[in-house]
Each structure stands twice: as structure tokens, then as C-alpha cells.
Amino acid sequence: MRRASFLIIVLIAFVAMTAIVAVRAFLPGDNAEFARGERVMPVAVASVPNIEFADVVEALGTARANETVTITARVTDTISRINFESGQRVAAGAILVELTDTEEAAGLTEARSTLGEAQREFDRTSDLITRGVVPQSRLDEATAAVQRARARVASIEAQLADRIVRAPFAGIVGLREVSLGGLVRPGDAIARLDDTSLIKLDFTVPERFLSVLEAGMAITAHSSAYPDEVFEGSIAQIDSRVDPVTRSVIVRAQIENEDGRLLPGQLMTVEVRRDVRSRPAVPGAALTRYLDQTFVYVVEETADGVFARQTPIQLGRRAGTMVEVLDGLQAGDRIVSEGVHRIRDGAAIEIAREVRLNASGVMAGSAAVGNGAAQ
């Protein structure tokens, strides 16, 4: 009895499977795929673009002013006048601070009077020498007196000049550290003056990069203060020695900063780009790997339909989501950009979307389309 029941169940299952096969044989559209034991897979297709690649050395750098100095006085005295405000842009030679000079001014008046008297005496003696009235020695004494008086005037004028503090170069004055009437001594900080029209960006790189760095190479820098902006410059100098502890070398780049947005002391990320080239590139999602080989699926359109052909390629550097192709593809080749893990070599595919890859690897301009050759 049990055996009869088992045979009845097997017979029912066989009849059901036969019915399913018969029904699928009469269904429209999928006969060819069913006969081959496969179905057409929908995929996204993209044309291979040319993208700029470069070998990049990355580092952190510190911005420095082109010229910087702490303004101080040369003599000890009180401040009689302040001619600047914090953050003011000043020209080279502009007077920033004047110190009290009453005593020196009086001494200069006396010295100039003495010089005038000595000069008049020299003129009278010269006239007498011409007429032969006085000996030559009197003229020598008068000449020496004039020279002493001139030296005295020059000395006092130098003392007065020391009481006038000037900007040694054009730049921006920092925060004022003194007040009117305050006593300053040599070395006391009055303010800091920075020339920020050009920023010197110092950064360190490992010594292994010495062979690929040279003066004049272009650099790009980024600052957290301006996250969406790229600052361009070039390498100006490379230090003459390698740090024996860190085994790194200091590199100095220069960035134009006429608008004054970059300030000394800012931390910046630096990229040194070399061997810039334009190469075909594919998105990482389009790659498949087997053992030590990398493949993409190239779209092949024929009269019989659209197929995916597995093509080996050689890869170079990565830039964002895009990967450089050294060999195996040309710009303009159409590849399967999405759905590569659902197909195999020679498989029939349906182009569900046609996408366009831009330089950053972002897919744009997507459009749903029908199956390739038939369209």
C-alpha cells in the first residue's frame, strides 16, 4: 500500500514538471534564452572617458609670511606719537611710532648753530689766505672746526632718527602692544609687521621623494578655512639637508596671496603633482578580478543582439572612484558599468541605462533605454 502511494506521488510530480515545461515552451519572448539555459540580464552601460591622472605626493604644511618682523625701538624712551592701527596696511618707510626727542632736538639746534659759525670762520680764513694775510695753519684749523661741527650735526640727526620707528617693508601691522606715553626699551615688541602678499608654505616630505621633487614644480594646497577652494603655487626651494632623526626634508612652496585671505601660521594640506597625463579610466564598480588579472565587460553589438565580452586590462593609479587604464581599453569604448557580477563572458545583456562618466567618476545624464542593437 505504501509503495503504491509513493508511485502515485512520483507520477503526479512528473506530470506537473511536464506541464510546466510545456507551458514555458509556449510563452512568447523568452524561448531563445530558455533554450540556451540563460536569461538576458539588464545592465548599465557607459563610455570610457579620458581623465587626468598624476603621481601625487601629499603632506601637511604651515603658511608663513613672505617677510615678517617684530617692530621694536632702538633706544629707551617714552612714546610721543603712534601713527598706526592694528591690522592696518602700511607702505615701506611709513612712520609707525615716534619717541620723545626734546633733548635731541635742542642739541641739534645748537650743533647746527655751531656748524654755521665754523663755516663762516672758514670762509673768512679762506679770504685772508687768498690775500696772504694769515698763514696756512689757520685755514687748516678752520677746516677741522667745520668737519667737527658737521660730524656733531650728523650724530644728533642719527639719534633723532633712532627715535622714529619706520616700517622696513610694506605689509600689514598686527596687534598693537604699546600705548601713548609708555616707556619702551630696545627689544620691547611694539607690533608685528607681516608681508602676506606672498605666502611661503613649508612642508616636510620623506627623503625617498627627493628624486622626484624639484624647484618649479606645481603644487596645490587646501585650507580648512576655505574647504571648497584650491590654492595653486610652485616649489621655490628644497632644504639643503635631511633631518637625521625623522629622515625628512623641508620643502618651501610659494603661493600668491594678494587678496590676503591666507594668514601666517595656517595649517594647509599640500599636493605635489608630477607626471600629469590623460588616460582612459573606468569606475571601480565595473571591475572584476580573477587570480592576478583584472577584467571589464566591453559591450559588443551585433545583428543577433547585445553581448558582454570579458576583456583583460592593466590598471594604474586611482583618482576618487575612477581607475586609470594603462592597456586594454580606449577612450570611447562602451563597458558595463553596473551589474557586472550578474553576467559572464559572452552573455546576452539588455541595456537598461546609458550613463555618462565625468572626470570625478560621478555618473551623470543617466537615461533608460531599450536593448541596444534593436534600438
> How do residues 196-239 score in pLDDT, each as one tens digit?
999 999 999 999 888 888 898 999 999 999 988 999 999 999 99
Segments of the chain scoring below 50 in pLDDT: 23, 25-37, 364-375
Q: What is the pLDDT of residue 363?
A: 53
Q: How many CB atoms lie within 10 A of CB 322?
A: 24
Q: What is the rounded CA–CA span in Å between residue 231 and residue 229?
A: 7
| pTM (predicted TM-score) | 0.62
Q: What is the rounded CA–CA span in Å between residue 296 and residue 282?
A: 9
Closest Cα to residue 194, out of 328, 90, 332, 60?
Answer: 90
Q: How remote is the C-alpha of 204 from its chain's centroid?
A: 14
Q: What is the rounded CA–CA span in Å between residue 70 and residue 53?
A: 44
Q: What is the rounded CA–CA span in Å between residue 369 and residue 362?
A: 20
Q: How remote is the C-alpha of 142 from its chain's centroid?
A: 68
Strands 322-327 and 267-283: antiparallel
Are 357 and 332 in contact by the 8 Å Cβ rule? The answer is no
Q: What is the rounded CA–CA span in Å between residue 86 and residue 75?
A: 23
Q: What is the rounded CA–CA span in Å between residue 27 and residue 34?
A: 10
Instruction: Tell me which DSSP letter residue 356 carries.
Output: E
Q: What is the rounded CA–CA span in Å between residue 9 and residue 19?
A: 15
Q: What is the rounded CA–CA span in Å between residue 293 and residue 328?
A: 12
Q: What is the pLDDT of residue 232?
A: 94
Strand partners, 334: 47
Find the helix packing angle between 102-131 and 136-162, rounded to 10°. 160
Residues listed for the chain: 375
Q: How many CB atoms lie within 10 A of CB 193?
A: 23
Element (H, E) at 106: helix 102-131
Nearest 5°: phi and psi at 342?
-105, 0
Are 275 and 322 in contact by the 8 Å Cβ rule? The answer is no
pLDDT in tens, 81-123: 999 999 999 999 999 999 987 777 777 788 888 888 888 888 8
Q: What is the rounded CA–CA span in Å between residue 225 and residue 245?
A: 32
Q: What is the rounded CA–CA span in Å between residue 283 and residue 341?
A: 14
Closest Cα to residue 191, out of 69, 64, 66?
Answer: 69
Q: What is the pLDDT of residue 28?
A: 45
Q: What is the rounded CA–CA span in Å between residue 328 and residue 56?
A: 24
Q: What is the rounded CA–CA span in Å between residue 12 and residue 23?
A: 17
Q: What is the pLDDT of residue 365?
A: 47
Q: How remote is the C-alpha of 189 from its chain's centroid?
A: 33
Q: What is the rounded CA–CA span in Å between residue 375 and residue 367?
A: 14
Element (H, E) at 114: helix 102-131
